[in-house]
Chain A
């Protein structure tokens, strides 16, 4: 089955700096890559996703890049703000069934004032 590795497990950056979280996946058939943000004690919520026919996608301060050849994808957050502090999860899916999402173990992003 699919295996998703996520790094780093904890990331501390100064407010205003950029943050990058990286994920690798094992199944070359995977074609959908969402990112979820989970604030402390809250539910995970989708922040951005990308499909395998696209190399990059941006939404304001958030961007995701995908390298299908290397089987890795990354989340980029620019001009970080205190409200960006949360746990971020990447996931991958072949889209072949209802059980298709495999999650990484999460990255705890800490924004230092």
Chain B
């Protein structure tokens, strides 16, 4: 099992551009999540999904969109990138129970710089 795979690892984006961060998992987990991590601020939930075709907003969803067409894939779309979106983005998945009761499996992260 590869676990949770994110691409790219690094990216520099110009202000106003758009891009998609890719996330795929091969553990057949129902639940998937996108977090952003800023220095000294912990992990903030952007969006989550409880299964294919179902997504919902987390704590900091503005400026982002997601889709979940398959169990395996959960891409994060940034539209009209802003410097405030400079961050490290982590995708995670968990077993078929809510994340509060089962471990999160994280990908290796995508370090995004918007300039």
Q: Please give the residue numbers on chain A whose beta carbons come within 8 Å of chain B beta carbons, in ascending order.
A: 6, 9, 31-32, 34, 36, 42-46, 49, 89, 93-101, 103-106
Contacts and interface: CB of A to CB of B under 8 A. Distances in A.
B17 to A, nearest CB: 25
B109 A43 contact: yes
Interface in B85-109: 90, 94, 98-101, 103-104, 106-109
Q: Which of A97, A98, A106 has the most chain B CB atoms closer than 10 A to its own CB?
A: A98
A53 B40 CA distance: 31
A93 B40 CA distance: 21
Contacts of A93: 98-101
Interface in B6-51: 31, 33, 40-45, 48-50
Given A43-B106, A45-B106, A46-B104, A101 B42 contact: no
Contacts of B101: 32, 93, 95, 100
Interface in B59-96: 90, 94
A94 B99 CA distance: 10
B98 A95 contact: yes
A89 B37 CA distance: 12
Interface residues of B, number: 25
Interface of B: 31, 33, 40-45, 48-50, 56, 58, 90, 94, 98-101, 103-104, 106-109
Given A43-B90, A89-B42, A105-B42, A97 B100 contact: yes
Contacts of B106: 43-45
A89 B98 contact: no
A108 B45 CA distance: 21
In order of increasing CB-CB distance, the 9 nearest A-B pairs are A93-B100, A100-B100, A95-B100, A43-B106, A103-B42, A105-B42, A46-B103, A103-B43, A95-B101
A28 to B, nearest CB: 15
